[in-house]
Structure 1
Amino acid sequence: MTIKEIQDELIEDFSFFEDWMAKYEYIIQLGKELPLIDESHKVDDLLIKGCQSRVWLHAQYVDDKVFFTADSDAIITKGLVSLMIKVLSGQRAEDIVSADLYFIDEIGLKEHLSPTRANGLVAMVKQMKLYALALNAKR
């Protein structure tokens, strides 16, 4: 699936929820389903700068695609990083770098996050794009 197709699917998924409490529950559920990051990747070098919570993000390049794993010590943040991984992991580096992540606004995420969480989300996206750029440059 393309990044656009995944975003459209997420927008549709979120449209089923009546209110923001239900949407938060869904985000938390996604966080619980996030595949565990290897403990060896829970190092300070892999912490996302700009996140209030501790968020570890690891990226690797396999068969021309970038795959991400992550973890967080905060349940809602873990859900947010899980959303980003759902959209960007397994995609080509060029597609990640140029992705317009419109689903964030479409599902109303930005206006329902605290300013610190919204900043953390921006930092997550930036870090994922930087990893994709760096991994692409190395190949």
Structure 2
Amino acid sequence: MRVETSPPIFPLEPSAAEAQREIKEEFGFFSDWSERYQYLIDLGRKLPPFPDAWKTEENRLLGCQSLVWIVPRGDASRLDFEAISDSAIVSGLIYLALRVYSGRPAAEILATTPDYIGDIGLARHLSPTRSNGLAAILAFIQDTARSRA
């Protein structure tokens, strides 16, 4: 059984496409990847507290080397996600994914390719294990949208 959680924390841009555009702009301010990694860590710190009671095997996302817990709620008209990781960088990756997808209708989630990953260079700069973790997060979001659409 999934846990019902608090209201969404992300200021919603008008669309997932707009969220991706803003992420691309923000990462464009940084001249190198050490600055971008630090920004990812800072974003991860913005995730709301995730109660220990929600850190169950049922809420644990498999496919990540780091520990990741994710809780979906809602229906086809609006899906919200709350998540956390024990890794600072993975928490930043979660923040970006939730910024694009959380609070959106299932149809918009399913129609939105995560272009921001390539646009900001994440695809080239993540380790294989972090790339696998990001893929698992995005797959979970897509699968949830598909099952509730």
Give the alignment's TM-score, normalised by structure 1.
0.92
Match of 1:76 in 2: 89
Q: What are the residue-to-residue correspondences of 1:96-115 with 2, within 5 Å?
A: 96-115=109-128
Match of 1:16 in 2: 29
> How far off its partner does 1:94 sit?
1.1
CA distance in 2, matches of 1:132, 1:37: 22
> How far off its partner does 1:38 sit?
3.6
CA contact (8 A) 2:72 2:144 kept: yes
Kindly tell me the number of residue pairs found equivalent between the two proteins. Answer: 136
Q: Which runs of 4+ in 1 moved over 6 A?
A: none
Q: Once structures 1 and 2 are overlaid, which stretch shifts more, 32-41 or 71-80? A: 32-41
CA contact (8 A) 2:43 2:92 kept: yes
**CA shift digits 1:64-100 (9 cap, x unpaired):** 2101100111111111111101111110011112211
Secondary structure at 1:69 match in 2: strand
**CA shift digits 1:5-47 (9 cap, x unpaired):** 0000100000000100110111001100011224332111111
User: Which of 106, 114, 124 is matched with 2:137 structurally?
Assistant: 124
Unaligned runs of 5+ in 1: none
CA contact (8 A) 1:60 1:135 kept: no
CA distance in 2, matches of 1:98, 1:5: 14
Q: Which has the higher helix share?
A: 1
Unaligned runs of 5+ in 2: 1-13
Q: Name the % identity.
A: 38
CA distance in 2, matches of 1:124, 1:63: 19
